[in-house]
Structure 1
Amino acid sequence: MTHVLGVVAGPEAGGRTATAVAGVLAGAEKAGATTSLLELSEAGIDAVIAAFGEADGVVFGSPVYRATYSALLKDLLERTERGKWGESTAPLQGRVAATVLTGASGHHFLALGDLRDVLAGFFAVQVLSPGLYLDHGGYVDRTTLTDQSAELAAAHGAALADLAAAVRGSAALQAITPQI
C-alpha cells in the first residue's frame, strides 16, 4: 500500500498551510493511500527525516515568506542526506513529492518552481507538477478550504498516490540518483 507523508514547514502548527496539506492528504486517502502528517515546528527535523524512509510520497507544505518557502523547510532540506559526498543515506531517493505553498496573495506563486527545482534537481525526486499554491481566497477560514480549493487539493493527493505507485513499480525511476 502507498504511504504519503505530509510535512508542514510553518513556524506554528495548525495554520493555513497545514489545512492545505491535509486537503492533499485527504485526496491521497480517497485514492487508497495511507497518510500521516508531521508539523516540522512540533516534530523536529530528525523525526521528519526518519519518516521519509517510511513514505512512498511526501507532500512538502510551506508558507511563502519573502517570495520563497520557509527557512524551516530550507533547513530540513539542507539536513537531508542524498547519498553523495560521503553521506550514508538518501531517504528521498525513489520517492515522489507534491509541493504546497500558501501566501497572503497570488503574487508569490512562482516560488513553487524554486522548491520543485530543489527537489527534482538536487534530490532526484519525481515531483508532481504543477504545484499547489493557495492564497487567502482559497479558504473559508484558517482551518477550512473553500469547496473549489478542497477539490483541487484532493486531486493533487490522488495524482500523487498514482505517481507514487508508478514510481514504486519502476526500477528505473527508483534508481535515478542526483548527478552531482
Structure 2
Amino acid sequence: MSPVLLGLVGGPDAGGRTTTAVEGVLVGAEKAGATTSLLELSQAAPDEVAAALEAADGVVFGSPVYRATYSALLKQVLEATERGRWGEKTQPLQGKVAATVLTGASAHHFLAVDDLRNVLAGFFAVQVLSPGLYVEQAGYVDRTTLTPETAELAAVHGAALADLARAVRGSAALQAITPQV
C-alpha cells in the first residue's frame, strides 16, 4: 500500500510560492509511489485540517517565513492539534512522518526550518526528514515555477519522505514513540 502524504500550506494566499515549493515535494513523493493531496490553510476549515492530518501517513508542512519563524496559520494548526496527553482524545501526528518546507525572500531566515522541525519532533514525536527544505526567491523562475535545480531538490525530499513513511509504517517501535511530556 502506498503512503498517503498531505501537503499542508500555511501561506496567507492560496497558490503562492510556498504552495509551489510544497507541490514540488509532492511531485517527488508521487514519483516514489505515494498518494498525495494538498491543503491550503487559508482556504480550509479546522475540521477539514484535522481529518486530513488523521488520514495521512505523513505531512509536508509548508510556510513562508515571517519574522524568522513559520506563519501564524501554521502555528494555529499546531496549537490546536492534540497529542494524546492530559486527557486529549486524539493524537493525529503520532507514528507519522513529516517534511518541512519554508520559503523566504532571501537566505537570511533559513534557520527557521530548525524551529519547525524541533516542534514537530520534540513536541509531537514526529519522525522529521532532515534537513528541511528552505527555498528563497532565487529558487523560483516565477511564482508558480521552481528553477530546475530547486525542483530536483524538492523532488528528492518528496521521494525521501515517501521512503521514510514506509519505514515508519513498517516499524511498530517507531509508531509507538510518543511525546515524553
- What is the Cα-based RMSD across aligned positions, in Å? 0.5
5 Å-filtered alignment, 1:152-167, equals 152-167=153-168
* TM-score using structure 2 length: 0.99
Report what 1:79 is aligned to.
80
> Which whole-Å CA distance do the structure 1 matches of 2:114 and 2:63 have between them?
13
Which residue number in structure 2 is paired with residue 130 of structure 1? 131
1:46 is displaced (CA, Å) by 2.1
Could you say which residue in structure 1 is the equivalent of 2:51? 50
Q: CA deviation at 1:45?
A: 2.5
2:178 matched residue in structure 1: 177
Unpaired runs of 5+ residues, structure 1, are none
Question: Does 2:95 correspond to 1:69?
Answer: no
The residue that corresponds to 2:20 in the other structure is 19
The number of residue pairs the alignment matches comes to 180
Report the alpha carbon displacement of residue 146 of structure 1 after superposing the two structures with TM: 0.2
Q: Output one character per residue of 1:87-108: Cα deviation in whole Å (capped at 9) or x when no partner.
A: 0000000000000000000000
Determine the C-alpha separation between the residues in 1 that align with 2:27 and 2:34. Answer: 9
| TM-score (structure 1 length as normaliser) | 0.99
Q: Which residue of 2 aligns with 1:10?
A: 11
User: Matched residue of 1:6: which SS?
Assistant: strand
Please list every run of 5 or more consecutive structure 2 residues that lacks an aligned counterpart in the other structure. Answer: none
Q: Give the counterpart letter for 1:25 in structure 2.
A: L
Q: Aligned equivalents of 1:45 and 1:155: distance in 2?
A: 30
Distance across 1 between alignment mates of 2:7 and 2:46: 13
SS of residue in 2 equivalent to 1:153: helix
Distance in 1 (alpha carbons) for counterparts of 2:55 and 2:74: 19
CA distance in 1 between counterparts of 2:128 and 2:45 reads 23
Q: Quick check: 121-130 or 39-48, which moved more?
A: 39-48
Distance (Å, rounded) in 2 between the aligned partners of 1:86 and 1:44: 24
Question: 1-side partners of 2:46 and 2:169: how far apart?
Answer: 25
| Equivalent residue number for residue 114 of structure 2 | 113
